Structure 1
């Protein structure tokens, strides 16, 4: 994507290694603990998600301090990074150019009404998921994008539509990975947010 979008500065942080409950306490790179691949609120690591959001907010603040306005920052990630990006995008007070979640989900959706910022309604979101995802089920992506409409009243948009809203794309024959169709759509979407 860097070749297709040469005007974009890419900042690619790595999640720190931490013990993961799902892996019986074995350390792995993760933004927050994973007790189960589930959207069950009782199994979510709210404290960890909140700490991850603070880390990402700090990274955004550092970019703003270099002179890049929030309105030209697209936040995104894959899997748990996408989940962290989504929750940051929903809760931040900064008016970002957009938020991307690939093969992820919206954590803490049960707290969305209390934690969502007003700026989230003015943000563009791009969610994409493989229909054959063997790690984060496709249904989690589907349910996550529906939450935006039900709880935050954020409208659905087509891929080439300008302005705030949510795009959700499903890809057949794609597991917990990415493929050229998704990258092409994502590149087009980012170009529309930060030309």
Structure 2
């Protein structure tokens, strides 16, 4: 049984007008992503809560555990669904906590974290969200709740991603998010990593959908 310790890191602004709940990628800790967000261009007055993924064994008979949002075979969603669905309900509790503090909430993540954010925001959660962000993330086949289809989604992929094929991923997102407002960017030179360019575009996207009186 894995543990979910909520060893989160919070970047707190002097004035709190927005919140970003962020899920790091596989093996990444909040401490690592904190350095990213402290240097990347982001919305002013935004609280960033970086969540700690559960510690899971890399393989069932291994003693080595790493932060991981779900377990299973990536190409077989049925093997991933049980752990993904379980952790998504725990993530949703945190989203609700943040919404109670500030009602302008974004949800997002990188890689595994982005996939979990997409599933949590569009299937599990009922919390109103300004938008959902998926950076270098795999889209899984699931049914989106009709009332959640109005949530804008920002997807950023790398053309040189070593883990995810960009063309296949783009097509899967197109099929998954049909009828939704999606901002999709393919950075042809980017691998499976963060980039300054994507945060510049992400900030611009956030501004475009944030309540005008709070910008």
What TM-score, normalized to structure 1?
Answer: 0.79
Shift of the 85–23 alpha-carbon distance from structure 1 to 2, 3 Å rule, reads farther
8 Å contact 1:20–1:34 — kept in the other structure? Answer: no
Q: Deviations over 1:109-150 (max 9, x none)?
A: 1x31xxx22232110000110011112332453133212344
Of residues 153, 157, 179, the one that matches 1:129 is: 157
Partners of 1:101 and 1:140 lie apart in 2 by 15
Distance change >3 Å, CA 74–CA 189, structure 1 → 2: same
Matched residues in 2 for 1:27 and 1:90: separation?
29
Give CA deviations for 1:132-186 in whole Å, capped at 9, x if unaligned. 1112332453133212344xx22xxxxxxxxxx1111000111000212211111
Residues 84/149 of structure 1: CA separation in 2 closer, same or farther (3 Å cut): closer
Deviation at 1:63, TM superposition (A): 0.8
1:119 pairs with one of 124, 147, 162: 147
Task: Note if contact 2:99-2:127 (Cα within 8 Å) is conserved in structure 1.
Answer: no
2:108 pairs with 1:76: yes
Give the CA deviation at 1:65: 2.4
Would the aligned equivalents of 1:82 and 1:102 in 2 still touch at CA under 8 Å? Answer: yes
| Equivalent in the alignment of 1:85 | 117
Query: How far, CA to CA, are the matches of 2:132 and 2:61 in structure 1?
Result: 29
**Any stretches of 5+ residues in structure 1 without a counterpart?**
155-164
Aligned to 1:158: none
Task: Tell whether the 8 Å contact from 1:17 to 1:29 is kept in structure 2 after alignment.
Answer: yes
Aligned to 1:41: 77
1:189: how far off? 0.7
- Distance in 2 (CA, whole Å) between partners of 1:58 and 1:166 is 25
Deviation, structure 1 residue 18: 0.5
> In the TM superposition, what is the alpha-carbon distance from 1:60 to its structure 2 partner?
0.7
